[in-house]
Structure 1
């Protein structure tokens, strides 16, 4: 296994990487769709839609349920309300996730969480699950003008961390994370258990894959 040398920092994704939040998404989305008299979506469909930000999730879920695009504002408002109520209730930290963060911190790396989830929801979730203290910065999908897979969030996180992108390890669970890292010039590892829009994650261009976040120790 190759090892990364000279790393200064690490940027870690949230949903599908640190915490399994699919249950929260399913409950909040289906509650919002129910308010609009639309049918609920199965978890397998919701999982395929996760990862590109809340706006994309709500628009896509609305279409999957047969709702008109004109219902988007009402669906968005309902989703935000319901997600705020259930955030973290149906979510669980993945085995090895906290150990992986501890490994990164003990390696002397500065840590940021960069997610397409809204920042407020992300911070609340990390706090609930006992992970917030590991991070010097948390940036959500509303923090910058563009979201992953655009490299902007990673580049801005590197700026905040005071690290060079080439010396900042990115850890995520999807092609979005990998594409953003490649465009930013950062090394990237992907976990094999998260959400990748229904596609095999090991087919994604990445430097390596982790069965558990704890396995990052073998790369440092």
Structure 2
């Protein structure tokens, strides 16, 4: 194996608390009721515009000026995208182990590039990541395979020499369409039953993932 590529939200990091805070600031600007953390976490995964759209639909319907609502969310989120966000247990050590073993690591996420890089830098994970493909790096978001294929290309890998790690049905479909083996982190934002798809490997702690990869598992 040459490379391991990770989704970001719900996989490497629990970002829901900061997304939740920005969403409720946006809703307050629009004089709408707040949403719970659990509700917002359930909307994560399809990119920022879809997150905002789902939150608006849950609080009275789409705003007439959707672009303004989206801009307000981005402004609030940009102020502190990593204040409450934390890596999942074992992430830092797993990234270090995989890097020391000579594997190239990448991140492929629907989160906008600027936010993704900022969070990885603030949480001190960027030194382990060779490339980041954000949601605005290609014309289409995951589950379209284009972002993952771009990440593979940047790492000099392909479906026979890489593993994609994610937490959702979106990530599973992306890996399938890009013809890349998929490992599921079960502690993220999965909305469907694991039985709905067939990951190569399922784990609930990142120490198990690094053991699996470095032990020769695929």
TM range (shorter): over 0.9
1:145 maps to which residue? 139
TM-score, normalisation: structure 2: 0.93
2:202 maps to which residue? 209
2:88 maps to which residue? 94
Instruction: Note the alpha carbon deviations across 1:67-111, whole angstroms, 9 max, x for none.
Output: 334231111010000000120011111101112212221232111
Q: Is the 8 A contact 1:111 1:136 kept in 2?
A: yes
TM-score, normalisation: structure 1: 0.93
**From 149, 154, 158, the counterpart of 1:155:** 149
1:20 maps to which residue? 14
Q: 1:89/1:201 Cα in 2 relative to 1: closer, same or farther (>3 Å)?
A: farther
2:79 maps to which residue? 85
Q: Does 2:10 match 1:31?
A: no
Q: Is the 8 A contact 2:94 2:206 kept in 1?
A: yes
Measure how far apart 1:201 and its partner are. Answer: 3.9
Measure how far apart 1:208 and its partner are. Answer: 1.1
Aligned residues: CA RMSD? 1.3
Match of 1:165, SS state, is: coil
**From 101, 108, 111, the counterpart of 1:114:** 108
Match of 2:42, SS state, is: helix
**From 162, 168, 177, the counterpart of 1:174:** 168
Map 1:65-80 → 2, pairs under 5 A: 65-80=59-74
Q: What is the alpha-carbon distance in structure 2 between the residues aligned to residue 199 and residue 43 of structure 1?
A: 18
Q: Is the 8 A contact 1:191 1:210 kept in 2?
A: yes
Q: What is the alpha-carbon distance in structure 2 between the residues aligned to residue 149 and residue 104 of structure 1?
A: 26
Match of 1:49, SS state, is: coil
Structure 1 unaligned spans of 5+: 1-6
Structure 2 unaligned spans of 5+: none
Measure how far apart 1:202 and its partner are. Answer: 5.5
